[in-house]
A and B are shown apart, each in its own frame.
Chain A
Amino acid sequence: MSIRVQKVISQFLIYIIIGITLIFTLFPLYWMLLTSFQPSDELMQYPPRFITTSPTLEHWRFALTTRWRNFINSFIISASATAIATVAGLTSGYAFARYRIGGNSLPFWILSLKFFPPIVSAVPFFLMMNQFHLLDTHIAVIIPHLIITIPFAVWMIKGFVTEVPRELEEAAMIDGCSHLGVIYRVTLPLIAPGVVVTALFCFVWSWNDFLFALILTRSHAVTLPVAVAGMREAHGLMWGAVSATATIATLPILIIAIALQKYIVRGLSLGAVK
């Protein structure tokens, strides 16, 4: 009997702790969403309101009309950085997984590039782009993003290819498939989910990047995070408009996060934890 009671109590405690954690996790996001729908005179009231009775689309309209270009910029930059990194990741990732290229250390050396603090490479990238008159273009931001996304993609895809048993490829080869044919018909379909996961992580990284975009853009190619950071200075206390823009910046990421679910930890720990 007492064991049963103990079990009920422990279950109850688990629910309470998880509930509190859930509130802590979701409240900031809810608050931002709420602010983006509140009429301006309701903001900055004390005590603060936790629901709004008269939601308005005013801030969203403002954000969508003035920040649309930043959204497009972010999308172009992230999509390009993702596409290039995925192709590079597929080719070199496969090669690293199946052949001993550069011994044991070359893959690790490539991975170490990802850890290079962006602030260190930001300075020379700035000087370089300045020299080539590329500042404030999409390319100026895409290239430094590749420094991060390519090593990541190579490393992740290498991990996924390693999980495909070599015997499978050999069997297909015996059945008269060419090597490229094996990659295309056997390996690629098997690692497809992994490739999608890798691409989505590259996209998120590029989308979330702030430092490179901040330093390498001025007006034309400004991305959403930089726009969010800049609105604070330009417009003072336009909480509603900034919240709407910040929500627009967050939505694609949250959708991707839901799609990635099982793989979030694996991706962010660089495949160290599966």
Chain B
Amino acid sequence: MALSTEPRRGVPDRPSGTAYRVGRDRPVGGFELWTWLFMRISGIVLLILAVGHVLIMHVFDTGVERVDFAFIATRWASPVWRTWDWALLVLALVHGINGLRVITLDYVRPAGVRFAINIFFYTLGFMLFVLGTVIVFTFDPSKWPTT
């Protein structure tokens, strides 16, 4: 296992002028390195997707007040917004659920309990991924012609 076996420590006493030690030890290989890298790359993409989504949908132009079925029908007439929302769905779910996994590593010591909690969130995440994907790509407002 390429992971550091060093115990986690706090920031050591810092002689003035030297750098802080910040955060947990950086993973040096294997699964943890790839999730570490994924968190950073998805984070950069989410800076645009999530912050853009929040500003467009929740802040400007009366925010969610204007959001109703007709609004979604107009918005998802564009494949750009369907793709944006789907990418946001996938990246936010994986980024967030991996974040929860990292948190369980800190607070849930018994391996079996941690495994059960993580399996619960993976299952929930997968179900929401399927639900969101199906809705984003199959939504067809012409099924309700009166609107």
Query: Are A and B interaction partners?
Result: no
Residues of B within 8 A of A (CB): none
Report A's interface with B, CB cutoff 8 A.
none
